[in-house]
Amino acid sequence: MQKICLNSWCRAPFEVTQSDLALLDELSPSVGGKKYEIPPPTLCPDCRQRRRLAWRNERNLYRDTCDRCGKSIVSMYAPDSPYAVYCYECWWGDQWDALEYGTDVDFTRPFLEQVAELRMRVPRLYLFNLHSENCIYTSHSANNKNCYMGVALGKCEDCYYGHWVLESKNVVDSMYCEYCERCYDCSYCLHCYGTAFSQSCQNCRDSLFCYECKGCERCIGCVGLRQKELHIFNQPVSAQEYARVKEELLTSPEAFAAFAEKWRAFKLTFPHRFALQINCTSVSGDDLYNCKNVKHCFNCRDVEDSAYIYDSGKNKDSMDTYEHGWLVQSQLNYELHAGMAGYHLLFCHICAEGRDLLYSDCCHNNSADLFGCISLKHKRYCILNKQYTKEEYEKLAQKIIEQMVKDGTWGEFLPAARSPFAYNESVAQEYFPLTKGEILKRKWRWKEMEERGFSSNKHAVPPDIRTVKDDILQETLACATCGRNFKIIPQELRFYREMLLPIPSSCHDCRHRRRMQLRNPRHLWSRTCAKCGKGIETTYSPERPEIVFCEECYLKEVY
């Protein structure tokens, strides 16, 4: 089925395949014995993803106070937002009940409009951060200990400034890394130790500036090596030369910058694999491990029979979800943003450990059979936060769905215009940037951001960490990239000293943006392998300078 994106500013053609339709049929809910078909998507995959990401604020955090106990918090909701925001203890505590805000359904008005009004009244959790200890500045994360300023961390300890880091310890300024320890400024690395400034490496130790290396130790500036030790730019060196070059890179900013530029050029002389698909069968996308029968998926682990899944794991029979799953199996989910352990969640925002939820927001703790509910815990058969019997719920839910089918909102995710965040606060701005004028023209919200501190850097930071004194912890540094002020925290300084790494010259936001720019876009282009001519679907666009090989040709090249 060929379709045109309904968004007037897009109008991109896209295809809804027979497998998509079969999956939508499987996902379609039955209420009171009657099945309600989910219609084919009206928006292209990118616009669907943009709509979900408009509901996600990761990096714009604000100092505020809990609206219940008055405790100081750092929240993803701005102090001038209209929402009541509770700290972790108050929101999860039993001193209040979100059913107190319940309301009747008004069938003279659109249902999603009533959900939006309820959202404005019900207290919200200041950050999504489950089952963690001493991680108050970490969001969209779970099961962590002693982590700071991280996003999408899971089962981590002593990790700082990370983005999507799993089951790792002492990992700093890294993204999309798993099972790593004592690593810095790494991307897409797995089972690495003592490694820095590296990308797409596995089982490497004590290495710097490595790309697509496996099982390597004490290597610097290497590309595509397997099971090598003491190499620089893919050539063997002595232990003394390795130590000399490493010390020079970590103590001289000029040597570091020159080496990084030489390494970037060096990488372009080697073939790049068309996509990272490890232990996968019948898949399309990139950064996939242990996946089967998935289409257009990115950064997924253990996903089966699914399509258009992003940053997810342990998911089956699902479509159009972002960051749902990972630590616990999820299944039969559609148009979701965030959460975990969901079974048959449809059109929901940050719901975890629930089943058969429709158009609900921030509902947790084994909730089931909810429709248009906000901030409920361990509840069942509720609509707009009002309790019903099973029979009452099913009868009313049928009537709501039939009304939504008529007004064209059934089957669509929550509108971007109803997001708690302005578009430029959200992750949508990171992946799909727009100007203020473009945002307002689409009737989305724009927020004028507060100017953070801008002051000159009066503290001269030595390039050699061995000469940096403890008084740097009292200093306010100025970002060399954007000029904003930032500080070094004690545990961060300890990490740099242990790893002999220099103090960063840029703030953590600019460091994150730089890493994001190194990542390929989540878009697939049809190309041919530069070696054998076979057709491939890859995240490398045709005009890029990299030499791109299919999987078979790439493996022959590196082994």
Mode of pairing for the β-strands spanning 163-166 and 151-154: parallel
Name the one residue in this structure whose structure tokens are 């490595």: 210
Helix extents (H) in 29-168: 45-53, 88-92, 111-121
Q: Assign 6 to helix, strand or coil.
A: coil
pLDDT in tens, the chain (559 residues): 999 999 999 999 999 999 999 999 999 999 999 999 999 999 999 999 999 999 999 999 999 999 999 999 999 999 999 999 999 999 999 999 999 999 999 999 999 999 999 999 999 999 998 889 999 899 999 999 999 999 999 999 999 999 999 999 999 999 999 999 999 999 999 999 999 999 999 999 999 999 999 999 999 999 999 999 999 999 999 999 999 999 999 999 999 999 999 999 999 999 999 999 999 999 999 999 999 999 999 999 999 999 999 999 999 999 999 999 777 899 999 999 999 999 999 999 999 999 999 999 999 999 999 999 999 999 999 999 999 999 999 999 999 999 999 999 999 999 999 999 999 999 999 999 999 999 999 999 999 987 765 666 656 899 999 999 999 999 999 999 999 999 999 999 999 999 999 999 999 999 999 999 999 999 999 999 999 999 999 999 999 999 999 999 999 999 8
Residues whose CB is less than 8 angstroms from the CB of residue 155 and which lie 6 or more positions away in sequence, other chains included: 142, 143, 144, 166, 167, 327
> Containing H/E element for 132?
none
**pLDDT tens-digit readout, 362-377:** 999 999 999 999 999 9
> Containing H/E element for 495?
helix 490-499
- What is the C-alpha separation between 304 and 22, in angstroms, rounded? 15
Are residues 529 and 553 in contact, defined by beta-carbon separation less than 8 angstroms?
yes
Which runs of E-coded beta strand occur in 126-179? 129-130, 141-142, 151-154, 163-166, 169-172, 175-178
Helix extents (H) in 199-305: 239-251, 253-267
DSSP label at residue 192 = -
User: CA end-to-end span of the chain, whole Å?
Assistant: 42
Q: Which amino acid is at 173?
A: D
Strand order in the sheet with 151-154: 129-130, 141-142, 151-154, 163-166, 175-178
Q: Residue 289 forms beta bridges with which residues? A: 278, 301
Question: Where do the domains of the chain lie?
Answer: 2-46, 151-273, 310-407
Are residues 253 and 502 in contact, defined by beta-carbon separation less than 8 angstroms?
yes
- What is the C-alpha separation between 386 and 398, in angstroms, rounded? 16
- What is the C-alpha separation between 519 and 142, in angstroms, rounded? 25
- What is the C-alpha separation between 54 and 29, in angstroms, rounded? 26
408: left (phi over 0), alpha (psi -120 to 50) or beta: left
- What is the C-alpha separation between 7 and 161, in angstroms, rounded? 35
Torsion sign (Cα): 16, 18, 22, 23:
negative
- What is the C-alpha separation between 164 and 508, in angstroms, rounded? 15
Predicted TM-score (pTM) of the model is 0.95
Question: Angle 111-121/390-407 helices, nearest 10 degrees?
Answer: 120
Which CA distances in Å does 165 have to 146, 314, 492?
A: 14, 16, 17
- What is the C-alpha separation between 217 and 316, in angstroms, rounded? 37
Q: What is the DSSP string of 370-415?
A: EES-BS-BS-EEEETTEE--HHHHHHHHHHHHHHHHHHT-TTPPPP
DSSP label at residue 214 = B
Are residues 194 and 183 in contact, defined by beta-carbon separation less than 8 angstroms?
yes
Which runs of E-coded beta strand occur in 42-168? 62-65, 72-75, 85-86, 124-125, 129-130, 141-142, 151-154, 163-166
- What is the C-alpha separation between 356 and 3, in angstroms, rounded? 29
DSSP label at residue 471 = G
